[in-house]
Structure 1
Amino acid sequence: MSRRSSPQRNRSPRAKAAIAAYIADIDSTNSAGSASNLPSFVVQQLRQALLSWYAHQGRDLPWRHSRDPYAIWISEIMLQQTQVTTVIPYYRRWLQRFPNVDSLAAADLQDVLKTWEGLGYYARARNLHRAAQTIGQQHGGRFPQQFDQALALSGIGRTTAGGILSAAFNQPWPILDGNVKRVLTRLIALDCPPSQALPELWDLSTTLLSPTQPRDFNQALMDLGATLCTRRHPNCQQCPWQPYCRAYNLNVQSELPMSEARGPLPHKHIGVAVIWNDQQQILIDRRRPQGLLGGLWEFPGGKIEAGETVEACIQREVQEELGIHVEVGKQLTTVDHAYSHFKVTLNVYHCRHRQGEPQPLECDEIRWVTLEEISQFPFPKANLQIIAALQQAHHLPT
């Protein structure tokens, strides 16, 4: 498939109709129904308007001062599902700790996860570490410039590969992240959820992309969605694409993009044990490397079953996970936390180790640590709140 082609199968009739209507609005003599058939003068006007706006209004972000593909790659991964303001301090700290591919590839995964701690979606950090090792082994320590090779690296999809190659090497690869989907959906007034029209949106992103300034164009498109064409209350008066935006001209910009129908998020209630021994040490365990929080440390515990008390849950889970018996004491804290597909409430209790030698029955590793040592280990964000409560309490309650 050529760079500027797009899949023709699984076309959404509604998306195809939206593009045809958009074209008809612009040029009544053009009845084509594909983004690739947008009138060339319209494509040129859209490109020029966006690039001119970006030259004056584009955000000053640290990774835009670099042409180092490694630094750009790190920023692209961190920006997946995370806001810019959150990413910036992590990005700077990461480059101080791991300034290049070689330093990341040689690092211990626990060090990588600790540096990432608090940024969420920890599979991204594991994938960065794995991909850095692949780059060292297969590409001589240099980020590959071929699209297929970039796409083959762990944690890199089509948008991320396009974003890196356009930003680092000014190659003309399109992107389609959340901001871009929203901008393009409003541009053509797409009357179905974007997920039902991905081939058409990729086609449109490819058609609009500037072949001579792909770096600036893609950055501008993301900025447009992040600063003006926002999810709520879009600032259409300042938008360079306002004259061309079908949603604006139909006065439906606040109603788009359409959302998928979703049910309520599942809510899990968890019993969590802070287990102390007679030496004032706390027992922590490291999760297996797979899954949502793979490789991170945590306090033992698990889901409270129907009709089960928190205390009974903790005793059962500790026995199943570690093979020991504990005495459940006072409650330390309650932590509410939301992930992308579910919510949890952690009911955290002080416990005393009473019988048995702890074993890693359902985890990779266990350790007894002091409260002073615990900050050395990477924990999920919700567990950091437990640590904060422990540090505030200072010691095991009597």
Structure 2
Amino acid sequence: MSPHPLIQDIPFQKPLIRWFQRYQERLPWRATQDPYKIWVSEIMLQQTTVNTVIPYYKRFIHEFPDCHRLAAASLEDVLKIWSGLGYYSRARNLHQGARYVVGHLQGRLPNDPEVLQKIPGIGRYSAGAIASIAFQKPVPLVDGNVIRVYSRLFWIDKDIKKHQKYYWDVAEQVMPQDFPGDFNQGLMELGRRVCTPTKPTCLLCPLRPYCRAVARGNPEALPKKIFRNPSHPVTMGVALICDQGRFLMVQRQGKTVLKDMWEFPMLATTKEKLSPKTITNNIVHEWQLKTEVIKMLPALKHSIMNQRITLLPFVLHLCEKTRKRKEWQWIKPDQIHHIATSSMNKKVLGALSQSFSTGGQDGHYF
């Protein structure tokens, strides 16, 4: 399916580029043309807001300033720096991709988008971003922000999921030869700051004179909404097993988004409440540890993708010493932030620390 020929009749490229060059947000990855740093930023920005990414990006680049340093690092060190940003497969793919670049491309990212897509973790979108921003190649990109801008600008009344190729065809058709990096960044920034999903600020939009959705008076009608899978509730018992001021953390195994991350032992349950006996019996069964419950902390709420998780944290005392396993660590609370763990476990740690600071005599488990 080819884009409609009228798409070519809208001269929006130069106004968009001028707008971006004048009003772009000052971001740390925009102060460089280094393709590696642009690659890192684009991967981090996937499904994550700009303000959330900024401190993680700075910390990551400080620790791994180039492909060689990232490739030489252990996966655990990479996950530790990424800890809290979520979607940990992105960190694994970056690490694997850096090793590929060092091993097959002399440590340098290529300017050819086709070659870029051979690197683990780099798809068509990321290749377009790197090629256009770092190398000024006229290569298009399409993400949710770009789809929203094009849907409204050209009045594309199509199902997003079924017509991804159509949007890529549009992007190729309107891609300018001059300032392709500014053009692509302008599209993404316009979608993020102006042409927003709800309540777009059309009066401030540089494309307002050309926008067919504005002319029709209903820009929020597009793009056609995607009905996402409904979220479902999950209850997790969390075992905070204490031994001489240290807490047990175990390394997640198996094929999961949290693989290799450190976490407190957990028990998935269909019940809204857990008894102390249930949690101690589970620990005996799963971990061969004899424990006793000191106290139960208030329930916590957390979300991962379409899961709405209720966390039921129990503080337990280890009654008998046991042989340490390879995938175990006994660690002090103030050291937990220095290992690769998820934001969910940091939330539990926060509740534990608060309990200690306000719990009076209950603080003895530290």
* TM-score normalised by the chain length of structure 2: 0.91
Matches within 5 A, 1:172-191: 172-191=138-157
Q: Secondary structure of 2:302's match?
A: strand
Cα drift, residue 263 of structure 1: 4.9
Q: Tell me the number of residue pairs that the alignment of Structure 1 and Structure 2 aligns.
A: 360
Tell me the distance in 1 between the aligned counterparts of 2:92 and 2:254: 9
Q: Secondary structure of 1:329's match?
A: strand
* Counterpart contact for 2:80–2:339, Cα < 8 Å: yes
Partner of 1:333: 298
Distance 1:196 1:316, change over 3 A: farther
Q: Secondary structure of 2:225's match?
A: coil
Cα drift, residue 356 of structure 1: 7.0
Q: Secondary structure of 2:220's match?
A: helix
Matches within 5 A, 1:60-71: 60-71=26-37
* Counterpart contact for 2:236–2:266, Cα < 8 Å: yes
Does residue 249 of structure 2 align to residue 281 of structure 1? no
RMSD: 2.2
* Counterpart contact for 2:237–2:267, Cα < 8 Å: yes
Q: Secondary structure of 1:194's match?
A: coil
Greater mean deviation of Cα atoms: 338-347 or 242-251: 242-251
Q: Secondary structure of 2:334's match?
A: coil
Distance 1:212 1:265, change over 3 A: same
Cα drift, residue 321 of structure 1: 3.4
Q: Secondary structure of 2:297's match?
A: strand
Note the alpha carbon deviations across 1:333-375, whole angstroms, 9 max, x for none.
Answer: 3221111221111100111223573665xxx710112233333
* Counterpart contact for 1:173–1:206, Cα < 8 Å: yes
Distance 1:375 1:262, change over 3 A: closer
Greater mean deviation of Cα atoms: 366-375 or 129-138: 366-375
Does residue 348 of structure 2 align to residue 386 of structure 1? yes
Partner of 1:142: 108
Greater mean deviation of Cα atoms: 130-139 or 192-201: 192-201
* Counterpart contact for 2:7–2:154, Cα < 8 Å: no
Does residue 261 of structure 2 align to residue 296 of structure 1? yes
Cα drift, residue 297 of structure 1: 0.6
Cα drift, residue 390 of structure 1: 2.6
Note the alpha carbon deviations across 1:219-255, whole angstroms, 9 max, x for none.
Answer: 1111110111011110111212222222211122122
Note the alpha carbon deviations across 1:258-296, whole angstroms, 9 max, x for none.
Answer: 22234530110000100012x232111011264221221
Tell me the distance in 2 between the aligned counterparts of 1:267 and 1:159: 33
Greater mean deviation of Cα atoms: 254-263 or 337-346: 254-263
Distance 1:374 1:223, change over 3 A: closer
**One-letter amino acid of the structure 2 residue matched with residue 387 of structure 1:** L
Tell me the distance in 1 between the aligned counterparts of 2:284 and 2:54: 42
The one of 65, 76, 100 equivalent to 1:99 is 65
| Long gaps (5+) in structure 2 | 358-362
Q: Secondary structure of 1:195's match?
A: coil
Tell me the distance in 2 between the aligned counterparts of 1:289 and 1:124: 17
* Counterpart contact for 1:271–1:347, Cα < 8 Å: yes
Greater mean deviation of Cα atoms: 75-84 or 143-152: 143-152
Tell me the distance in 2 between the aligned counterparts of 1:193 and 1:326: 54
Q: Secondary structure of 1:345's match?
A: strand
**One-letter amino acid of the structure 2 residue matched with residue 259 of structure 1:** K
Does residue 92 of structure 2 align to residue 130 of structure 1? no
Q: Secondary structure of 2:298's match?
A: strand
Partner of 2:360: none
* Counterpart contact for 1:323–1:359, Cα < 8 Å: no
Distance 1:182 1:319, change over 3 A: farther
**One-letter amino acid of the structure 2 residue matched with residue 187 of structure 1:** L
The one of 48, 68, 84 equivalent to 1:82 is 48
Distance 1:301 1:218, change over 3 A: same
Tell me the distance in 2 between the aligned counterparts of 1:329 and 1:391: 15
**One-letter amino acid of the structure 1 residue matched with residue 188 of structure 2:** M
**One-letter amino acid of the structure 2 residue matched with residue 195 of structure 1:** K
The one of 149, 169, 176 equivalent to 2:135 is 169
* Counterpart contact for 1:193–1:258, Cα < 8 Å: yes
* Counterpart contact for 1:324–1:358, Cα < 8 Å: no
Partner of 1:371: 333
* Counterpart contact for 1:36–1:207, Cα < 8 Å: no
